[in-house]
Amino acid sequence: MSAYIPVIGLEIHAELLTKSKVFCTCSAEFGGDKNTRCCPVCSGMPGTLPIINQTAVEYAVKAGFALGCDINKFSTFDRKNYFYPDLPKAYQISQLYLPLCINGLVPIEYEVDGEKKTKNIRINRIHLEEDAGKLIHDDLNGVSLADYNRCGIPLIEIVTEPDIGSADEAKAFVEKISLLLQYAGVCDCKMEQGSLRCDVNISIMKPTDTELGTRAEIKNLNSIKAIGRAIDFEIYRQGKLLDMGKRVVQETRRFDDNRGETKSMRSKEDAHDYRYFPEPDILQVNFTDEDLDAIRAKLPEMPYKRLERYLADGLSETDAKIIVNQKILSDFFDTAVKAYSNPKSVCNFLIGEMMRRINLGEVALDNLPFTAEQFAKLVEMADTDKVSKNDAKSVFRTMCEKGGDPEEIAKAAGLLITNDTGKVLEVIEEVLAANEKAVAQYTGGDQKVFGFLMGQCTKALKGVCTPKVIKEELEKKLKSL
Amino acid sequence: MDITALKIRDMRAALDKKEVSAAELADAYLTRINEIDGSLESYITVTAEEAKAAAAKAQTIIDKGEAKPLTGIPLAVKDNICTDGVKTTCSSKILENFVPPYDATVMEKLNAEGIVMLGKVSMDEFAMGGSTQTSAFKKTKNPYDLGRVPGGSSGGSAAAVSASLCAAALGSDTGGSIRQPAAFCGVTGMKPTYGRVSRYGLVAFASSLDQIGPIAKDAHDCAVILNAISGYDYHDGTSAKLDVPDFTAKIGQDIKGMKIAMPKEFYADGIDDDVRNAVTEAAKWYEKQGAVIVDCSMPSLKYAVAAYYLIASAEASSNLSRYDGIKYGHRSEVGDSYSDLVCNSRSEGFGDEVKRRILLGNYALSSGYYDAYYGKAMALKQKIREEYAEIFKGCDVILTPTAPTVAYGVNENISDPAKMYQADICTVTVNIASLPAISTTCGYDKDGMPIGMSIIGKHWDEATVIQAADAYEKQFERIPAKI
């Protein structure tokens, strides 16, 4: 097989986190009993009309800002016509001619064989549209049922230029988009629930070719892994065809996750003619500079800003990136630091202990049994010698297992350091009494036995006192002998 | 005098003075419908029980002295306006049993006024046609001659008003569907400025052109109804956020000095002599009253019908796609696959004229043809709007015939769609330009068939249009249909 250059463009659909749907007031929440979150408008009853949800427009513009886009001050909606039972109006309200956002740029970082690489991926456009319903096929009874709850959920479609050259780049890009949208607060990007979906357009060409190859479109990939696998398979499939002197057919394909292969869905001849035309029921969207400034001002802190902040707080670049690259982790970290303002210390415990347990699968980041404040308290206790560094780890294990307040856990386990001098002196007396020989050696000038005596005391005073205090008291006592 | 022949404001006085009760009034109409509508065929659904209940409710409001202008007034509603719990068929087999779960905004407004709805009246299927003969259910006749069409698409509304089977009716106008049947049936019909009345609940034909409006015995009655149904509606993003003036405000004001434009293309060869003469005579009357007749031209008129049919059919092809047999409406028993189901349901459910326009619209929007057809039509739309703007720089209203002919025989014209479409020449530009216009009777031909003239106004200036029409009506002696 000769070497081909893959040329890849992505279309990413992201559901917006608005409370209500894009063209009616129904709830836009995920799930719900079948057909309970729909009304005459979103279920396409005769005579109904769409009303544009301004929050959805705002979220789409926020996404545009997050992805470095220009915002069209004058934007319109269009109808995309096709028949499908999950689309009750038989047209989708979308934007073809004048989308809300255009000309974006998203930098990505990825690794090839351990080597770090960066690249800029251009965004062609982001437009706002409505989602369709869901079909439930009951093969047993030979019926198909329609659930319209998802009809009218606001979606943005992010369309890239064909700037992506490999599965690794595509995966890094989708991860980056997911991160940016989450930071912008416009999408939860749960691919497994379908709130982020990806179509891949891919063709291959020889380095000497001047024209792009024929592309295939792979529809509805619902995990980062599937995106990578589908692209790799498609590069292999198209390359094999060309090697055999055959041609790649322009078509729509779907990815079979079990077999790791793409399969033809429909050829170009069967492709829909969507008969787009301007949506007459919705007036154009106009923005003034002030409108756009107001939306930009509402954009939360984006990842690169947060990275800057963490570096300024003294975190290492590696650590800072680990934290920033998961919004939920970063939010947890920020909350913890708010409760205990020692970012480096919180970071060390977070990366060292918490991430270790998360990677082991003992706890899940999106379902932690303890709060960020409780986590911060534990770090602070370790830093202020209320619990030994080692014991802090064991307290944390309990927090991961059962949750709860670290101080109470430490107390119950007898790990809480109180520095009770009465108790310390008592223990020292006991240890010295039980080790007369060693004491004699020490007073005889053999300082080496101090370590032994210190060890005995520490063992008996575990969780009560810091070694520092024990050492002071022990030295004092021995000198007085 | 027969109370069913009264105008709304006379009816209002009679109700308020307790000369007649709301129930008696409703009964008088229901009785008349029973007697006459068998041959006229204007009503698809008569809601007798609901009407009686509404009349009783209206009476309590009247008795409390809290009556509004339309409280207790019996009205008919075109069957493409959604009525909660009452069948809304659009005169199509595909919606034969469709009962909307909601009221159109105009119905909410009228119900809040305490109207008595007598029933739903026939129309051309999905408002596509100018004869009401494309209705799948009631092919309404003209009250002046049962051998002729009532016009359309709001033919049921116009015929029912003309035959006194309701005090007034709601119609809808996409390319003349209120004005032309009003002209054919010798009554008055008003198409408001696009955006004046909410379209929410009007089953869409061509969304950028559709507008609901009244058909009544005269312009004054039209104004009374327009007062009740106008205004911004949250549910219709294309309804205008404008204060609604009192549309009766200018009634009775002197029309002296009013500038009336007569674009010469509207009086050209395609217009019957009887029609041209009657409208020209009306212009002379206006001139005698001190109005100023302004000569002007609309060069693009010759392209207007083509532009209209491309735009309207393109939008219709999309609007009517939802009738796929899946969620409501007719579903075919034939076919195993989804595409068979959709294809057969639509083939069985739609009539020929609707199919013709869906085909036309889909063709115009197809890739490769879009620019040549839809694109050109949109450019013409812009041109026509500009020409209207130019004409209105020199006048207050424009006077045109409403239709090139009087009502024709029920079996005429049906085999030649292009000829039928051309008959819309006088009305379609008003929709393309989003303007308000009224049609009122200005004469009768030798067979006694009514001739309509249209008065077109500037955007949002319905009041002047009504003023001009009312002035003419006050001196013009109508000959009621003898039915």
Give the least confident one: A11-25, A406-420, B437-451.
Answer: A406-420
pLDDT tens by residue, A367-409: 999 999 999 999 999 999 888 888 899 999 999 999 999 999 9
Largest CA distance in chain A: 104
DSSP state of A164: B
User: Would an 8 Å CB–CB cutoff place A152 in contact with chain B?
Assistant: no
Instruction: Tell me the residue type at B155.
Output: G
Q: Which residue has the tokens 């049962």?
A: B146
A481 neighbors A433 (Cβ within 8 angstroms): no
Other CB atoms within a 10 A radius of the CB of residue B352 amount to 11
Q: Distance between alpha carbon B7 and the CA centroid of its chain, in Å?
A: 19
User: Would an 8 Å CB–CB cutoff place A386 in contact with chain B?
Assistant: no
B192 neighbors B462 (Cβ within 8 angstroms): yes
Yes or no, beta carbons of B199 and A52 under 8 Å apart: no
User: Would an 8 Å CB–CB cutoff place A136 in contact with chain B?
Assistant: no
User: Mean pLDDT throughout B404-418?
Assistant: 88
Token pair recorded at residue B468: 């001009």
Of the CA atoms within 13 Å of residue B250, those in its CB half-sphere come to 18
More confident residue, A471 or B239: B239
A 66-105 → B contacts, CB under 8 A: 79, 81, 83, 85, 88-91
B424 neighbors B176 (Cβ within 8 angstroms): yes
Yes or no, beta carbons of B374 and A88 under 8 Å apart: no
pLDDT of residue A411: 86
A133 neighbors A146 (Cβ within 8 angstroms): yes
B71 neighbors B15 (Cβ within 8 angstroms): yes
DSSP state of A123: E
Yes or no, beta carbons of A49 and B236 under 8 Å apart: yes
pLDDT exceeds 70 at position A256: yes
Nearest to A273 among B81, B204, B367 (CB): B367
pLDDT of residue A1: 45
Yes or no, beta carbons of A273 and B366 under 8 Å apart: yes
- ipTM comes to 0.95
Binding-site residues on chain B for chain A (CB distance < 8 A): 80-82, 88, 90, 95, 98, 100-102, 104, 199-204, 206-208, 234-238, 314-315, 317-318, 321-322, 324, 326-328, 338-339, 342, 362, 365-367, 370, 374
For residue B296, list its beta bridge partners: B263
3 state DSSP class of A447:
coil
Yes or no, beta carbons of A282 and B322 under 8 Å apart: no
pLDDT tens by residue, A56-70: 999 999 999 999 999
pLDDT exceeds 70 at position B144: yes
Token pair recorded at residue B201: 């609940």
pLDDT of residue B1: 64
Backbone angles phi and psi of A84, in degrees to 5:
-160, 140
pLDDT tens by residue, B79-107: 999 999 999 999 999 999 999 999 999 99
Backbone angles phi and psi of A345, in degrees to 5:
-65, -45
- Burial call A199-224: b when 16+ CB within 10 Å, e when fewer: bbbbbbbeeeeeeebbbbbbbebbeb
Please state, for a pLDDT cut of 70, what percent of chain A lies above it: 99
Q: Tell me what the pLDDT averaged over chain B comes to.
A: 97
| Residue A461: band (very low, low, confident or very high) from pLDDT cuts 50, 70, 90 | confident
User: Would an 8 Å CB–CB cutoff place A240 in contact with chain B?
Assistant: no
Chain B CB contacts of A146 below 8 Å: 326-327
Chain B CB contacts of A85 below 8 Å: 324, 326, 338
Q: Minimal Cα–Cα distance from B317 to chain A, Å?
A: 9
| Residue A270: band (very low, low, confident or very high) from pLDDT cuts 50, 70, 90 | confident
Closest alpha carbon to B452 in B404, B396, B413: B404
Q: Minimal Cα–Cα distance from A74 to chain B, Å?
A: 17
Nearest to B207 among A44, A85, A280 (CB): A280
What does the H/E/C string look like for chain B?
Answer: CCHHHCCHHHHHHHHHCCCCCHHHHHHHHHHHHHHHHHHHCCEEEECHHHHHHHHHHHHHHHHCCCCCCCCCCEEEEECCECECCECCCCCCHHHCCCCCCCCCHHHHHHHHHCCEEEEEECCCHHHCCCCCCCCCCCCCCECCECCECCCCCCHHHHHHHHCCCCCEEEEEECCCCCHHHHHHCCCEEEECCCCCECCCCECCCCCCCCEEEEEECCHHHHHHHHHHHECCCCCCCCCCCCCCCCCCCCCCCCCCCCEEEEEHHHHCCCCCHHHHHHHHHHHHHHHHCCCEEEEECCCCHHHHHHHHHHHHHHHHHHHHHHCCCCCCCCCCCCCCCHHHHHHHHHHHHCCHHHHHHHHHHHHHHCCCCCHHHHHHHHHHHHHHHHHHHHHHCCCCEEEEECCCCCCCECCCCCCCHHHHHHCCCCCHHHHHCCCCEEEEEEEECCCCCEEEEEEEECCCCHHHHHHHHHHHHHHCCCCCCCC
Distance CA A261, CA A369 (A): 40
pLDDT of residue A463: 66
What does the H/E/C string look like for A59-70?
Answer: HHHHHHHHCCCE
**Which residues are within 8 A (CB) of B123 and not within 5 positions of it... i.e. 6 or more apart?**
B78, B79, B80, B90, B91, B132, B135, B152, B153, B154, B155, B156, B157, B177
Q: Minimal Cα–Cα distance from B320 to chain A, Å?
A: 9
pLDDT exceeds 80 at position A71: yes
Distance CA B100, CA B89 (A): 10
B353 neighbors B347 (Cβ within 8 angstroms): no
Helix axes B219-229, B8-16, angle to 10 degrees: 70
Chain A CB contacts of B236 below 8 Å: 49
| Residue A465: band (very low, low, confident or very high) from pLDDT cuts 50, 70, 90 | confident
User: Would an 8 Å CB–CB cutoff place A252 in contact with chain B?
Assistant: no
Instruction: Tell me the residue type at A252.
Output: T
pLDDT tens by residue, B193-236: 999 999 999 999 999 999 999 999 999 999 999 999 999 999 99
Chain A CB contacts of B104 below 8 Å: 47
pLDDT of residue A24: 97
pLDDT exceeds 60 at position A2: no
**CB–CB contacts below 8 A, A to B:** 100
pLDDT tens by residue, A4-17: 999 999 999 999 99
User: Would an 8 Å CB–CB cutoff place A265 in contact with chain B?
Assistant: no
Instruction: Tell me the residue type at A22.
Output: V
Length of chain B: 483
Interface probe for A, chosen from B94, B197, B318 (most Cβ of A below 10 Å), is B318
Yes or no, beta carbons of B365 and A275 under 8 Å apart: yes
Chain B CB contacts of A47 below 8 Å: 80-82, 88, 100, 104, 200-204
Yes or no, beta carbons of B90 and A46 under 8 Å apart: yes
Backbone angles phi and psi of A442, in degrees to 5:
-65, -50
Yes or no, beta carbons of B201 and A283 under 8 Å apart: no
Backbone angles phi and psi of B347, in degrees to 5:
-65, -40
Yes or no, beta carbons of A45 and B101 under 8 Å apart: yes
User: Would an 8 Å CB–CB cutoff place A275 in contact with chain B?
Assistant: yes
pLDDT exceeds 90 at position B374: yes
Nearest to B199 among A49, A91, A277 (CB): A49
Distance CA A331, CA A324 (A): 9
**Which residues are within 8 A (CB) of B198 and not within 5 positions of it... i.e. 6 or more apart?**
B104, B105, B106, B212, B229, B231, B232, B233, B235, B236, B239
Query: Measuring CA to CA, how many Å separate A127 from each of A30, A93, A278?
Result: 21, 11, 14
User: Mean pLDDT throughout B400-411?
Assistant: 96
pLDDT of residue A8: 98
Interface probe for B, chosen from A144, A274, A275 (most Cβ of B below 10 Å), is A275
pLDDT tens by residue, A16-29: 999 999 999 999 99
Catalytic residues of B: 78, 153, 177
Yes or no, beta carbons of B317 and A275 under 8 Å apart: yes
pLDDT exceeds 80 at position A3: yes
Chain A CB contacts of B206 below 8 Å: 280
Instruction: Tell me the residue type at B13.
Output: A
**Which residues are within 8 A (CB) of A244 and not within 5 positions of it... i.e. 6 or more apart?**
none
User: Would an 8 Å CB–CB cutoff place A145 in contact with chain B?
Assistant: no
Token pair recorded at residue B150: 């009532």
B339 neighbors A84 (Cβ within 8 angstroms): no
Looking at chain B, which residue has its C-alpha nearest residue A51? Answer: B237
Yes or no, beta carbons of B234 and A51 under 8 Å apart: yes
pLDDT of residue A421: 76
Chain B CB contacts of A20 below 8 Å: none
3 state DSSP class of A146:
strand
User: Would an 8 Å CB–CB cutoff place A430 in contact with chain B?
Assistant: no
Long-range CB contact pairs, B25-29, < 8 A, 24+: B25/B55, B25/B72, B25/B73, B25/B74, B25/B116, B26/B51, B26/B52, B26/B54, B26/B55, B26/B74, B26/B116, B26/B118, B27/B52, B28/B2, B28/B3, B28/B4, B29/B4, B29/B74, B29/B118, B29/B164, B29/B165, B29/B166, B29/B167
pLDDT exceeds 80 at position B349: yes
Token pair recorded at residue B381: 């739309």
Token pair recorded at residue A255: 């990815």
DSSP state of A113: T
pLDDT of residue A432: 87
Instruction: Tell me the residue type at B240.
Output: A
pTM, two decimals, is 0.91
Nearest to B315 among A50, A51, A280 (CB): A280
Q: Minimal Cα–Cα distance from A55 to chain B, Å?
A: 16
The A91-94 sheet, strands edge to edge: A91-94, A78-81, A277-278
Looking at chain A, which residue has its C-alpha nearest residue B316? Answer: A280
Chain A CB contacts of B234 below 8 Å: 51
3 state DSSP class of A117:
strand
Looking at chain B, which residue has its C-alpha nearest residue A280? Answer: B208
Yes or no, beta carbons of A276 and B365 under 8 Å apart: yes
Closest alpha carbon to B6 in B168, B201, B191: B168
Q: Tell me what the pLDDT averaged over chain A comes to.
A: 93
pLDDT exceeds 60 at position A337: yes
pLDDT of residue A428: 87
Looking at chain A, which residue has its C-alpha nearest residue B208? Answer: A280
Q: Minimal Cα–Cα distance from A90 to chain B, Å?
A: 5
Torsion of CA A315, A320, A322, A325, to 10 degrees: 160
Looking at chain A, which residue has its C-alpha nearest residue B89? Answer: A46
Please state, for a pLDDT cut of 70, what percent of chain B lies above it: 100
